[in-house]
Structure 1
């Protein structure tokens, strides 16, 4: 007796770019319509970490790796409590989940969180289109939304919000202050401004001996200083750094108090602005877990995890003077693909930042040392403060 397995046909779907390019495929996840900035992520693994990274809010994410979903999903790999992408694009979704850690399938999570996606399209062609035309607005249409005419769909895409000038911090930040206890010996406390922080970042800070206070993005400088933190940390997050004047001004206030600072991704761009540099939008951004970055201090090349569409405009070589009075600043890291600034180091105040994600939960761990560098900087600053205070008392 021969048993045959029949797969029911998937509903049709369309990916439409704002330049009018259309790609027909199959609905994946929820059906309906969704709008956002379409970007591509270049990791072969880490789709769950990507989907639950708040930095991707407002974006339709396309995976360049062709086969997605084969390892399923699990609670341990989530970077937040939900999927944040506006839409999801893959070439070949796995029909089978095969991993001992899997607790559910990617398809189920997309349906549960109402994420509209598309599969079965030539993602290489879309990637080449974005690389030549730049990141652009797009829409995914399936189900009832396919009854709209081509021109009506294109009007929806072109009428959607652009990422430039957009502040999304309030959409992704925690609503309430919460704390994570230090692991092992407590070395101090760190105030984390949640601009879209990832769970692994908070955990790695706690593992370095910090008592971690995660604060809503609308916290004031006075509220931060009232905690008497040993350090301040600005997280990753979505949106345009040029639309975050309040966070920039607050950072300047805290830096003038001599409190050590570490920023990643969005936090790097905001440090750049606080120091007096500008920021600008990249043609198609850096996303994925295989981006080569040079550490100028060591000459080592790190393979790093990225998700950013904006960058700091600062000279790669030499030492600059902060236009805001924070002393000397140098670019510490830069990207080897396109010479984009990937890190800043302040020489006269205890502050540094990187553009990429050192926690890299889904990929290489080349940059994990930055959490240790932050710990060492905070300890050194505390020792310096104690020495200064003791000298003052002796006088």
Structure 2
């Protein structure tokens, strides 16, 4: 199957469109330039993708180039190779370190050999264009804008943004989730999940200690916004006059239906990703401890078991199955997965509604879930269901005898 090639950008189109309608001419011009440049790059991405051959292999070696505010990547100059000394340019060093941290995260936790699992080189480009309000993965390399200095700042300053964008490459080389509607929202959510985990791993934060924000560092101090997205509280990352309130839903009852077009964010991929984002957050805090240890492993294995057209329900069911394979049936980890999807309005296929509701999984101060309490709760509920079935069987036998 041939998939449409699209640039994966960290700043969603609905924010840029709001800025495009700004009465401030500088804000309007920066948004317009960003959108026009992005549209042009999408065309170039499609042309490159039509040629056979993957990106060059190189054991995950990093190379950072300086675009010097130009838009042509081939004309960028070498700024720091894998074995080179640190640069005098902070953007170069932050990009270099972020690429390395993400690479090391995937290798240390999942034994993955770079983004494609075949040693793909990691090329980063900084100082792309002028006042470019975005960062993106184009299927081969990571590109960072400097921001306009008024709303957005240097995009190399956010490690979770780097982890997010490189994870689009991981997704391309595993499930290949189609970038539209629910599969596209899953694509974006997977990038948020592992972008956040890269930052948490780097800081050695537990699920309770993490902020669960995506892109908290890319806004200038003058902008009233916590981040681009909040996995902990979708819909509450920002609320200001510049680009309105955060439109992300946190429950299937609030799912946003949008056109599968570029202006419609390909069916709201950056918007509806709030639902699986919240499910991962609930799973991580339900299990407790370091989110990458159990929740991250479950999600990674579920990504590998998914396909291009995987929908929310499919992915939820897969995470439940993977939790059982990895940690056992009725384990605290599996119960946390079950409760998390129930919390966002998705019932695992084949599991009776009400089993292992989130309220039965009480996390302690250390973020851990009592395994015995969770299993005992599940056993009681299953026992109650069995008693009901037994009672119905007796009633039926009685009716037949009469």
TM-score by length of 1: 0.27
- The structure with higher relative contact order (CA 8 Å, sep 6+) is 1
Q: Which has the higher strand share?
A: 1
TM-score by length of 2: 0.27
